[in-house]
Copies of this chain bind each other. A is one copy, B any other.
Amino acid sequence: MNSNRRERSRRPRIPQAAIRRLPVYLRELEEAVSGEERVVSSAELSARTGFTSEQIRKDLAYFGAFGTRGVGYDARLLASQIKRILGLTHSVGAAMIGAGHLGTALARFSQAEHKDIRIRHIFDKDPAKVGSSINGVVVEPVSTMLESLRASGVRIAVIAVPETDARTVFAELLAAGVMAVLNFSPVKLAADGVHVQNIDLTMELESLAYYAQEGVDR
């Protein structure tokens, strides 16, 4: 199945870091549009995002030729092009696995801030949580996750379960046809043909410690 997917692939492999910068560009372009700036240069985009102009031009070049040399990018047009690249031209559904503190916080965040991606499912194994509602989404039992995700066709999932449950949940998500996973558990998860983004909050804290030292350039 994975090899089929690979053969169908028509785009070159884009570095993950470039994909992760696209939403940052999108955010700034949307701010520019709402501030009635029609054209944004890569230098301005650089000042607003902290990435170099070269980096921005290189990232965008993976997807085609955008902007006019010496002028800049049409902010509204580039924003819609980035949305198309990210597959965000229509609202996309995602599933949250785990309705503990982290899952609840993430589900609320996403519903409040965001219209492009909607949490459509929240699953938990705790019967006391099943049936309750988080920002309008009813918590489903994790035992019915496979059929529920297959029925709705949701392909994005966020893993916010304890370490001990992460592998089982991941295997079920694969069986349900999920293609992109944001993993907050400390377990490293990987499988062919599925994109996994691991966010390890303790590592984020460790890199912060570097900057808390005397004599370090911040």
**Which residues does A use to contact B, with CB under 8 Å?**
5-6, 8-14, 17, 19-20, 22-24, 26-27, 85-88, 92, 94, 100-102, 104-106, 108-110, 113-114, 116-117, 155-156, 158, 179-182, 186, 193-195, 197, 199-218
A113 to B162, CA, bound (A): 12
> Can you offer 21 A-B residue contacts whose CB atoms are under 8 A?
A9-B215, A9-B217, A11-B215, A11-B217, A19-B207, A23-B202, A23-B207, A26-B206, A86-B209, A87-B212, A94-B208, A100-B105, A101-B104, A102-B102, A106-B201, A109-B202, A114-B205, A117-B206, A156-B209, A197-B208, A199-B199
Known A-B contacts: A24-B203, A195-B218. Give 19 more (CB < 8 A).
Answer: A11-B217, A14-B217, A22-B206, A22-B207, A23-B200, A23-B202, A86-B206, A86-B207, A86-B209, A87-B209, A101-B105, A116-B206, A117-B208, A155-B212, A156-B209, A156-B212, A179-B218, A180-B211, A195-B211
**CB nearest neighbor in B for A106:** B201
Find chain B residues with CB under 8 A from A24 CB.
Answer: 203
Cα A147 to Cα B26 in complex, Å, equals: 40
- CB of B105 within 8 A of CB of A206, answer no
Asked whether A202 lies within 8 Å of B105 as measured between CB atoms, the reply is no
- Which residues of the partner chain B approach A13 to less than 8 Å between Cβ atoms? 217
B205 touches A156 (CB 8 A): yes
Cβ-neighbour of A208 out of B14, B17, B102, B182 (below 8 A): B182
5 tightest Cβ-Cβ pairs between the two chains A and B: A195-B211, A101-B105, A102-B105, A23-B206, A180-B211
Contacting pair B202 A180 (CB below 8 A): no
Supposing A182-B208, A201-B106, A202-B114 touch, asked if A218 and B86 sit within 8 A by C-beta, the answer is: no
Cβ contact of A92, chosen from B8, B104, B212, B215, cutoff 8 A: B212
Which residues of B sit under 8 angstroms from A88, Cβ to Cβ?
A: 206, 209
Q: Given A9-B216, A102-B102, A215-B9, A204 and B199 touching (CB < 8 A)? A: yes
Cβ–Cβ contact B156 & A208, under 8 A: yes
* Closest chain B residue, CB of each to CB of A117: B205
